[in-house]
Amino acid sequence: MADANAIAANLAQVRERIVRAAARATSGAARGPEEIKLIAVSKTFPPAAIRAAYELGVRDFGENRVQEWEAKSAELTGLDATWHLIGHLQSNKAKKAAQLFHRVDSVDSLALAQRLDSAAGELGKQLGVLIEVKLGGEETKSGVAPGELPALADGISRLARLDVKGLMTVPPFSESPEDVRRYFRELRGLRDDLSGRVGFALPVLSMGMSHDFEVAIEEGATEIRVGTGIFGARKKAEDARR
């Protein structure tokens, strides 16, 4: 595992990359780096790594498994951070997820949204959500197909306890970030169409990971999800299960 010094050096590099990419953002997306939220993806890494990043000013963290975060969170009480669920969520874990996370960034069905809504109601809280969109049509990926996005957004917007903030995507993997530029552009277009249709702003575009976040920022990302770029490489065996 990366120690605190390595995390500090990595984080400084990531922040520098964000500043440079924001300066290159295409028109309409041009923004200051402070408007781009860095979500540190801490899956597979221990609480000590999360605490190190927190002490370096990180205030948003992403985890992809409810049980893993449940175990780690017990050691991290009192941190004033926003915890995002970024991995696929099964409906039977919706209640626990609503309890443990501030935001669920991977909502991809109305059934799941309804479960989250009733869980949030029982907990007396509002839950922010992103709709995960599947671009590129890969069978194995989660996310709603673009054609089904308007109906899903419409359905979710009627749920009193959920606040839809925007869209998230994990595009098909490519070694070259330039190959996925079109997917980032597509997500932004979908968001623009959708917010016109539903009649409220959908400010969040969560797109871009360690190897391609510059391109995502150039195409209008407002949140990027960075794991290995901050914490170092994950163990292969653990990553394969995800």
Ligand X SMILES: *Cc1c(COP(=O)(O)O)cnc(C)c1O
Residues from 160 through 199 that contact ligand X (CB under 6 A): 170
- Smallest gap from Cβ 199 to ligand X, in A, equals 29
Burial class (CB in 10 A: 0-12, 13-18, 19+), 54: middle
- Both tokens assigned to 46: 């221990």
Taking residues 200 to 219 in sequence order and writing x for each that binds ligand X by CB under 6 A, - otherwise, the string is ---------xx---------
**Closest to 47 measured CA to CA, from 231, 236, 210:** 231
How many angstroms separate the CA atoms of 128 and 122, rounded?
15
- Smallest gap from Cβ 175 to ligand X, in A, equals 12
Helix axes 4-24, 47-55, angle to 10 degrees: 60
How many angstroms separate the CA atoms of 74 and 222, rounded?
30
How many angstroms separate the CA atoms of 186 and 184, rounded?
5
Q: Which residue lies nearer to ligand X by CB, 65 or 161?
A: 65
# residues contacting ligand X (CB under 6 A): 13
- Smallest gap from Cβ 16 to ligand X, in A, equals 16
**Closest to 204 measured CA to CA, from 26, 84, 68:** 84
Residues from 16 through 75 that contact ligand X (CB under 6 A): 41, 43, 64
226 is an interface residue for ligand X by CB under 6 A? yes
Q: Helix, strand, or coil here: 176?
A: coil
Which of residues 146, 171, 220, 227 is near ligand X by CB under 6 A?
227
**Closest to 207 measured CA to CA, from 39, 89, 10, 69:** 39
Q: Which residue lies nearer to ligand X by CB, 21 or 161?
A: 21
Q: Which residue lies nearer to ligand X by CB, 7 or 226?
A: 226
Quick one: which segment of 13-21, 140-148, 174-182, 223-231 binds ligand X (CB under 6 A)?
223-231
Residue with tokens 């997306």: 29
128 is an interface residue for ligand X by CB under 6 A? no
- Smallest gap from Cβ 28 to ligand X, in A, equals 24
Map 63-95 to HEC letters. Answer: ECCHHHHHHHHCCCCCCCCEEEECCCCCHHHHH
228 is an interface residue for ligand X by CB under 6 A? yes
- Please check whether residue 103 is in contact with residue 165, taking contact to mean a CB–CB distance below 8 angstroms: yes
Which of residues 87, 146, 166, 220 is near ligand X by CB under 6 A?
87
- Smallest gap from Cβ 22 to ligand X, in A, equals 18
- Smallest gap from Cβ 20 to ligand X, in A, equals 18
> Which residues bind to ligand X, rule: CB under 6 A?
41, 43, 64, 86-87, 170, 209-210, 225-229
